[in-house]
A and B are shown apart, each in its own frame.
Chain A
Amino acid sequence: MDFPLIAVLAATLTIATPLVWAGLGAIINERAGILNLGIEGTMYAGAFVGFLTASASGSATLGLLAAIIAGALAGSLMGLLTVTLGVNQHVAGIGTTLLLIGACDFSNRILFSAGSQAVTAKFDRLFAGTGFFAQYPMTYLAFLVAAPALWWVLRSSGFGLRLRAVGENPEAADAAGIPVAGTRYTALVLGGALMGTGGAFLTLSLLGSFTLDIVSGRGWICIALIIFGRWKVWPVVAGALLFGFADALQLQLAITPQFGAVPNELLIAFPYLVVIGALAIWGRGVRYPGAYLVPYRRA
Chain B
Amino acid sequence: MTRGPSAHGASPRWSRRVLGALGTAAIAALVLSGCGGATGADPSSDSAASDLPLVFGAFATPLEEPWDGAIHAALQGAADDGLIRYEHVDNLATADDMERALRDIIGSEDPDLIMGDAFAAEDAVRAVAADFPDTAFAFGSGGAEQAPNFSVFDNWMQDPAYLAGMLAGGLTTTGTIGVIGAMPIPEVNRIVNAFIAGVAETNAGATVTVSFINSFFDPATAKQAAEAAIAGGADVLFAERDGVIAAAEEHELPVFGMMVDQQEQSPDYVVSSLVWSMRPTVEAVVADVVADKFAASNLAEFSFMINGGSFLAPLNTGTVFTIPSELTTLVDERQGAIMDGSFVTIVNEDAPAGSTTLGE
Q: Measuring CB to CB, which residues of chain A are less than 8 angstroms from any residue of chain B?
A: 1, 4, 7-8, 11, 14-15, 18, 81, 84-87, 91-92, 94-96, 98-103, 105-106, 108-109, 115-116, 118, 124-125, 128-130, 202, 206-209, 211-214, 216, 247-248, 251-252, 254-257, 259-260, 264-265, 268, 297
Contacts and interface: CB of A to CB of B under 8 A. Distances in A.
Size bracket of the B interface? 35 or more
Contacts of B35: 98, 102
B212 A268 contact: yes
A60 B163 CA distance: 37
A102 B33 contact: yes
A96 B31 CA distance: 8
Given A95-B30, A213-B217, A264-B212, A115 B246 contact: no
A286 B236 CA distance: 48
Contacts of A84: 19
Contacts of B292: none
A285 to B, nearest CB: 33
A136 to B, nearest CB: 10
B355 A216 contact: no
Contact of A264 (B34, B231, B354, B355): B354
Nearest to A7: B231
A86 B20 contact: yes
B280 interface: no
A254 B20 CA distance: 50
B298 interface: no
Nearest to B62: A212
B152 interface: no
A260 B19 contact: no
A32 B52 CA distance: 62
Contacts of B63: 109
Contacts of B212: 254, 264, 268
15 contacts: A11-B231, A85-B26, A92-B27, A102-B33, A128-B250, A212-B217, A213-B217, A216-B215, A248-B228, A252-B231, A255-B209, A255-B210, A255-B229, A297-B12, A297-B16
B64 A99 contact: no
Contacts of A94: 31
The DSSP consensus for interface residues of chain A is helix
A229 B76 CA distance: 51
B40 to A, nearest CB: 10
Contacts of A15: 224
Nearest to A215: B220
Nearest to B266: A118
B232 A255 contact: yes
A81 B26 contact: yes
Nearest to B15: A297
A7 B228 contact: yes
A128 B63 CA distance: 36
B233 to A, nearest CB: 6
B184 interface: yes
Nearest to B259: A115
B173 interface: no
A227 B299 CA distance: 52
B73 to A, nearest CB: 10
A118 B23 contact: no
Contacts of A130: 227, 230-231, 251
B214 to A, nearest CB: 5
B225 A86 contact: no
Interface in B3-34: 12, 16, 19-20, 22-24, 26-28, 30-31, 33-34
A100 B34 CA distance: 7
Nearest to A103: B34
Given A109-B63, A248-B224, A255-B210, A85 B30 contact: no
B243 interface: yes
Closest 4 CB pairs of A and B: A102-B34, A85-B23, A7-B231, A87-B23
Given A87-B24, A108-B64, A115-B64, A101 B34 contact: yes
Contact of B243 (A85, A125, A207, A268): A207
A169 to B, nearest CB: 20
A104 B215 CA distance: 20
Contact of A209 (B230, B265, B355): B265
A95 B29 CA distance: 9
A7 B69 CA distance: 35
Given A115-B69, A211-B219, A260-B353, A99 B228 contact: no
Contacts of A92: 23, 27
Given A130-B231, A252-B231, A81 B23 contact: yes
B211 A254 contact: yes
Contacts of A98: 30-31, 34-35
B66 interface: yes
A255 B355 contact: yes
A211 B232 contact: no
B65 to A, nearest CB: 7
A251 B225 contact: yes
A272 to B, nearest CB: 11
Contacts of A99: 30-31, 33-34
Given A115-B64, A209-B219, A1 B12 contact: no
Contacts of A86: 16, 19-20, 23
B81 interface: no
Contact of A214 (B19, B24, B66, B219): B219
Nearest to A98: B34
